[in-house]
Amino acid sequence: MKKQAETFENPLVPHAVLQQMYAGMKALRALEPNAAALAAGGHSLRGEEACRASSLLSLGAGDLVSDVPGSAVRTQRRGAAVLETMAPGVLLLPSIAAAIERLSLAVGAASALRVQGESRLVLLYARAGEVSPAVWKQSFGTAGRRELPIIFLVLPRAGKQRSDRISDRAQNWGVPGMPVDAADAVALYRVMQESVLRARGGDGPALIECVSWQPAGAATQTVDVLKAMRRVLSVRGLLPVKARSHAVPQPK
């Protein structure tokens, strides 16, 4: 009887990180606000789980996060616990309702880190379409010119996607822009890791735009990001994942 070949483990995305990612996505899915909370201005995390888990797992203690107003990750007690488990020691910037002011605050915080010569960085989450191209252009110009340690992450838009993505313009405005499939947690993690190394090394900002790819003719997003990640783990024989798996130390 032939011995079953061992599953290849990518050193850049170890099995422990894949399990950590999936457990984190499940925890984020469990934070989905109810109808009353959404009506009161809450922000749904549906479809964002891969974007958030992959980016949070790449952060270190002392890094700063600017989240969208109403996000369950920052407004609920359970959300705070999930954040602390996935990214221990990160600090949350005030979540200002006005997107322009929140963006300015994040860029200002990154400027302070740059002046102080620290290796910490700022991760800014933004909803697709909540900031105008003119505002992005100004922010990118400042961040790129000063080589600020900030990563702009655009969360996926529900429903039909616009053809004019901000990542297509970012390079001309001074910041490398990368569109990534919002359902591909592994690809998002790799891009985030590269962006983090760039920011910590003093090479400036980056934009990651999570895009919900859709089959031709589809009116709404059909890919369940959690099921997609579960398939990745299943193929590698990494299931089941224990609830505490997302607390393993992140790779150095």
pLDDT tens across the length of the chain (252 residues): 444 445 678 888 999 999 999 999 999 999 987 777 777 777 888 899 999 999 999 999 999 999 998 888 988 889 999 999 999 999 999 989 899 999 999 999 999 999 999 999 999 999 988 889 999 999 999 999 999 999 999 999 765 555 678 999 999 999 999 999 999 999 999 999 999 999 999 999 999 999 987 655 555 556 889 999 999 999 889 988 764 444 433 434
For residue 7, tell me if it sits in a domain: no
The Cα-based distances of 207 to 17, 118, 130, 169 in angstroms read 23, 21, 15, 10
Could you tell me the two tokens for 6?
A: 């061992």
- We report the CATH number of the domain holding residue 83 as 3.40.50.970
Whole-number Å distance between alpha carbons of 149 and 107:
9
For residue 9, tell me if it sits in a domain: no
For residue 27, tell me if it sits in a domain: yes
Whole-number Å distance between alpha carbons of 35 and 42:
9
The contacts of residue 206 (CB under 8 Å, 6+ apart) are 151, 152, 175, 176, 177, 178, 194, 195, 198, 199
**In total, how many domains does the chain have?**
1
Domain that includes residue 132, residue range: 15-212+219-237
pTM, full prediction: 0.88
For residue 58, tell me if it sits in a domain: yes
For residue 6, tell me if it sits in a domain: no
For residue 124, tell me if it sits in a domain: yes
For residue 173, tell me if it sits in a domain: yes
For residue 4, tell me if it sits in a domain: no
DSSP state of 61: T
